[in-house]
Amino acid sequence: PYPPKICTALCATSVAASTGRREISWPWHLAARTPTLWLLVAALSLATAAISAVSVHRIPYLQDVGLTAAVAAAVVTVSGTSAIVTKMGWGFLIERVPVRYLLALCFVALTAGILMMLSISSAPLAFGWALWWGGFVSGLVPLQSVVFATYYGRGFLGGIRGRVQPPILLAQALAPLLPAVIHDRSGSYGLAFWAFFGVLAASAVLFFLARPPRVPEAATTAVMGVPR
């Protein structure tokens, strides 16, 4: 789809020592033409919005379902500890399992996590949810960095990430307002978290649609597979 002159902009900017193959790196003006980039941005924006809303409102939500403030605070501690411990595991998995499959696992698991949260009725269930939620949230940050590098190379990664982060951060900043408004009007978080269940489910669908972009044939022939 790109003229040969444009294809040459897909530069061989780094070399993988294990394979001896040069890496294709997409400059921003070409990466932005691929639907995959915008599907990734949309999926990550939605997922980040849901995670942000849960993080901000989980203590009052747990108190609303009958847990004490002390137990709710302990749940946050367990979730944070789970995130710290499992982050090392995600680093191990990223080196051995394709990032596409790991991100799919994260999206599906976090969607299930909203259902688990809506089912909390006791402290043991709350702590079980905290272990699950913290464990999968911890994978999302390293995985989103790796997926952009895997799909678009590392040569222009800073420029690409710098341009796609604003909508993701904006979603993170604004999302907690929705549960606050709904709780103020209805006295319950239920509707808000069901909405975020739908948001996370939508993010999972968008991610499944975000297949790795096809490198133009001219660039593949000229760059990929070239020995060091």
User: Using one digit for the tens of pLDDT, what is the confidence trace for 133-146?
Assistant: 999 999 988 898 89
Q: Quickly count: other Cβ atoms within 10 Å of residue 172's Cβ.
A: 20
Mean pLDDT of 109-132: 94
- Report whether pLDDT(21) > 70: no
Question: What does the H/E/C string look like for 98-144?
Answer: CHHHHHHHHHHHHHHHHHHHHCCCCHHHHHHHHHHHHHHHHHHHHHH
> What is the reported pLDDT for 104?
87
The pLDDT > 90 percentage for the chain reads 59
- Report whether pLDDT(16) > 90: no
Question: What's the rounded Cα separation, in Å, for the pair 197 and 62?
Answer: 17
CB 30 within 8 A of CB 39: no
Question: What's the rounded Cα separation, in Å, for the pair 123 and 121?
Answer: 7
Question: What's the rounded Cα separation, in Å, for the pair 57 and 224?
Answer: 48
Mind listing the pLDDT tens digit for each residue in 56-105?
999 999 999 999 999 999 999 999 999 999 988 998 898 899 888 888 89
CA 130-134-138 angle, 5° bins: 180
* Encoded tokens for 17: 């020592």
